[in-house]
Amino acid sequence: MACLHDHSCEDHDCGSQWSLYKHIDIPKVSALNEATAGSVKSIFKAWELRLDTSKIDAVNMCFSDKFSFDINGNTVLGFLESNEGDPELLIFIPFTCDVKIKSISVVGGADGKSPSKMRAFINRDNIDFSDAQDMTPLQEWELAENLQGMLEYQTRYSRFQSVGSLTLHFPDNFGGDSTQIYYIGLRGEATQLKRDVVATIVYEVMPNPSDHKTPTDHGGGMSEV
Amino acid sequence: MVLEATMICIDNSEWMRNGDYSPTRLQAQSEAVNLICGAKTQSNPENTVGLLTMAGKGVRVLVTPTSDLGKILACMHGLEIGGEMNLTAGIQVAQLALKHRQNKKQQQRIIVFAGSPVKYDKKVLEIIGKKLKKNSVALDIIDFGEEDDGKPEKLKALLTAVNNNDSSHIVHVPSGPSALSDVLLSTPVFTGDGEGGSAFAASAAAAAAGGGSFDFGVDPNIDPELALALRVSMEEERARQEAAAKRAAEDAARQEKEGGEQSSSSRDATMAEPTNVLDPGTDAKGPDTMDDETALLEQALAMSMDDPRASQSGTASMGDTDMSEATHEDQELAYALQMSVQDTAKDSSSQTDMSKVLGDQTFVSSILKSLPGVDPNDPSVKDLLASLQGQTEEKKEDEPPKEDEK
C-alpha cells in the first residue's frame, strides 16, 4: 500500500519521522550486484537529503562537491547502481538495536531505472540471490516510479516488531539497463534493545545431573543419582 | 590479511599425464596447490581452503573449505587421472561449496587450474562469469598445459565477466624448465590481495632458490640463531675493516700532505673502502704482473699498514709511477715528488731500491708506454729520464743536508 503526504512538508516536520537511518549499522551494510563496491552505504541518509545525489564522504558521512574516495580509493557515488545489464539488487541492512518498521520509501532512477518490485526478509544474514528467489518474503510490494520520494510503502506492522536486520531484494526494474537507487528511507521506532544473540551453545552427549541441580531436588528429599 | 574462503579446482583429466611440466602435469598441480594452501593460511589463520576435481567420473569435492592443511595434503595423494575436464560444472560446484562455508564473513574465491582444452563456448563461460560476479565471488584462472586455439580468448572472456575491481586474475604458464609452482609464486595468485601472501611467497622462493634472497643463505624463519650469528659476525668484520681503512686513510693523508700530490690522495680515497682484506703478500709481486693502478692501491694500503718491507717496495713503485706521470708535465714537480718520496722512506736501502728501479731503463720505459699520451721515444722524456737517473746518484750525497734544511 502506498500513501502520499497529504500536507505541505515544510510545516509538518516529516524528516524527524524518517529517522531510523540513525540506527543503521552503516559499516556493515552490504549489497550484492552493485556496480561500485560500497556505494550502497550512501543511500541511507536524512530525509531532507533524499534527492541530493552529490558525492558523499563515506568516512564522515557529510556532503562535498569534490570527489571523495572510500578506503579502496574508489569514487563514492551518491547512489547505488547495479551492474550493467542486470537489474537485480540485494541489500542487507543491519541495525544497531532492534527496531520496529512502519513504512519504507524508495527513490529510484529515471528512464526505467527504478526498481519495480521489493521483497523484504528480516533477521536473516547472508542471503544471496538464489536464496532470495526461492524463499517467500515476509512482505512483497509492487513499486511505482518515485522520483520525488513522496511515496511510502507501509508494512504489516505486527510482523516487523523486532527487526535486527532487514534484507531488501529488488528483482526487477522498469526496463532500464540497470537499476539505480538514490535513497531508502525507513520510518518507525527504535527500541534501544539489542537483539539476543546466542553466544555459546554447549551440547551434551550425556547429561550430568550435577549440572542440573534445582532447589526442589534438595527440599524434596529425593535421592541424588 | 583478507579473510577468504578458497576453493581450488584441479584438472585431473587425461591430458595431465603429459610430462612437459615435470614430473607430470598432475604432480605440478599438486605442488602448486600445496603452496597456495600454505600461503592462504599463513596470510590469515582464519582462511579456509577446499579442493575439488573437475574430471574423472564427474566433479567431486574432495575437501570442503577447511583450515586444516593436513587434510588437503592427504587428499592430494591417490588422485586418479582420467576423463575430461568439465569447467562449468566445476566452477558451479565450487560456488555452491563456498556458499555453504561455515564463516559467512569470509570473501569467496575460486582458483581454477585449466590444463586441458576448453570445450565450452564463450557465451556459456560469460554467463557463468556474470553469475560469479553477481554473488561477489572472485576467480583466479591458471592457464597451462594444452594450448588450444581459442582457449586464451575464452578464458579471457570468462575473466572479464567475473572481474570486479581487479580482484580476479588470469595467469598463463608456458611449459619450460621452471616448475609450475615457482612461476606462480610471483603472480597475483599469491601476491594478489594480501601482503602476507607475498611474505610467504618470498620465503618460499628463497627456499626454492637455495636461499638466494637472504643475506647469508640461511632462512631466518628456519634457523634464526644461525642467521643472527652470521649477521653479527659480518657486522663485526665490517666494522674492523672500516676502522683499519680509516687508519690507513689517515696515515696516507698525513704522508701525502708533504708531497702535495693529488692523484695519490684520490687513490687514498678509494683505498678507504676496502671490501675485502688485502693480502700484503700480493705487494711482493712485481708490479708489471698486475694492473698499474691496482698495484699502486695495494702498495699504498700496505704502506699505511706499516709493513716495512712492503712499504719500501711500495714507495719505490709509487714514487716510480708518480714520477713517470709527472715527467711529461713539469720537471720541477717531478723533482719535488722525488724529494717527498725520499723523505718518507728514511732508509738508505729505499734509495737503493728506487735507484735500482729507476736504473732499470726497460722497466721505466714499459711504465711510460702504458701511460696515455706519453711517448717514450720523445726526446724530452728521454732527457728527463736521464736527468732523473743522474739526480738519483746525487741524492745519495745530498740527502742528509736536505733533511737538515727541512
Output the DSSP codes for B180-236. HHHHHHTSHHHHSS-HHHHHHHHHHHHHHTTSTTSTTS--TTT-HHHHHHHHHHHHH
Q: A37 to chain B: which residues are within 8 Å by CB?
A: 164-165
Confidence of residue B166 (pLDDT cuts 50, 70, 90): confident
| A128–B contact, CB cutoff 8 A | yes
pTM (predicted TM-score): 0.60
B123 touches A: beta carbon within 8 Å: no
More confidently predicted of A126 and B272: A126
Residue B89 makes CB contacts below 8 A (sequence gap 6+) with B54, B58, B59
pLDDT at B258: 58
Mutation site, A75, A89, A125, A130, interface B, largest B CB count within 10 A: A130
Nearest to B159 by CA among B182, B131, B126: B126
Yes or no: say if B121 and B92 are a contact pair by the CB < 8 Å rule.
Answer: no
**Cβ pair B135:A32 closer than 8 A:** yes
Going from the C-alpha of B28 to that of each of B52, B118, B356, the distances in angstroms are 16, 20, 72
Range with the poorest average pLDDT among A40-49, A60-69, B24-33, B287-296 = A60-69
Q: Report which residue type is found at A61.
A: M
Q: Does A48 touch chain B (CB under 8 A)?
A: no
DSSP letters spanning B48-98 = EEEEEESSTTS-EEEEEEES-HHHHHHHHTTPPP-S---HHHHHHHHHHHH
Find the distance separating the first CA and the last CA of chain B, reported in whole Å.
75
Is residue A182 within 8 Å of A215, Cβ to Cβ? no
* Contact yes or no for B134 and A126 at CB 8 A: no
With cut-offs at 50, 70 and 90, classify the pLDDT of residue B366: confident
Q: How far apart are CA A78 and CA A49, in angstroms?
A: 11
Q: What is the mean pLDDT of chain B?
A: 74
Angle at alpha carbon of residue B171, lines to A75 and B182, rounded to 5° = 120
CB contact under 8 A, B135 and A129: yes
CA-CA-CA-CA torsion for B224, B225, B228, B234, nearest 10 degrees? -130
Per-residue pLDDT tens digits for B142-163: 999 888 888 999 999 999 999 9
Single-letter amino acid, residue A191 = T
CA distance A147 to chain B (A): 26
Q: Report whether A117 contacts A127 (CB < 8 A).
A: no
A105 touches chain B (CB under 8 A): no
| pLDDT the model gives residue B393 | 56
Q: What is the largest CA-CA distance in chain A?
A: 79
Chain B residues near residue A85 by CB distance under 8 angstroms: 130
Residues in A closer than 8 angstroms to B164, CB to CB, are 37
Instruction: Give the span between the Cα atoms of B339 and B227, in whole angstroms.
Output: 53
Q: What angle do CA B225, B226, B229 make, to 5 degrees?
A: 85
Q: Does B104 touch chain A (CB under 8 A)?
A: yes
Phi, psi for residue B22 in degrees, rounded to 5: -75, 150
ipTM: 0.71
DSSP B336-365: HHHHHHHHH--SHHHHHHHHHHHH-HHHHH
All cell numbers assigned to B260: 702535495
Q: What is the pLDDT of residue B59?
A: 94
- How far is Cα B163 from Cα B188, in angstroms, rounded to an integer? 14
Contact at 8 Å (CB) between B355 and B393?
yes
Single-letter amino acid code for the residue at B220:
P
List the single range of A47-56, B2-11, B230-239, B391-400 with lowest mean pLDDT. B391-400
Report chain A (225 residues): mean pLDDT per 10 consecutive residues.
48 68 89 87 84 57 45 61 89 92 90 92 89 92 87 92 92 90 90 68 80 69 57
Contacts of A171 in chain B (CB under 8 A): none
A129 in B contact zone (CB under 8 Å): yes
Boundaries of every domain in chain B: 4-190
Quote the CA–CA distance of A34 and A84 in Å, as a whole number.
Answer: 9
The three cell numbers locating residue B50: 577446499
Q: Could you tell me if residue A50 is left (phi over 0), alpha (psi between -120 and 50 degrees) or otherwise beta? A: alpha
Number of neighbouring beta carbons within 10 Å of residue A166: 24
Tell me: cis bond preceding B152? Omega within 30 of 0 counts.
no
> What is the SS3 assignment for A197?
coil
Per-residue pLDDT band at B256 (split at 50, 70, 90)? low
CB contact under 8 A, A72 and B136: no
Fold classified for B4-190: Rossmann fold (3.40.50)
Contact yes or no for A86 and B104 at CB 8 A: no
Residues of A in contact with B135 (CB under 8 A): 32, 128-129
Please list every residue in chain A whose beta carbon sits closer than 8 Å to the beta carbon of residue B133: 33, 83
B221 near A CB under 8 A: no
A-B contacts at Cβ under 8 angstroms: 23
Q: How many residues does chain B have?
A: 406
Which carries the bigger pLDDT value, residue B23 or residue B378? B23
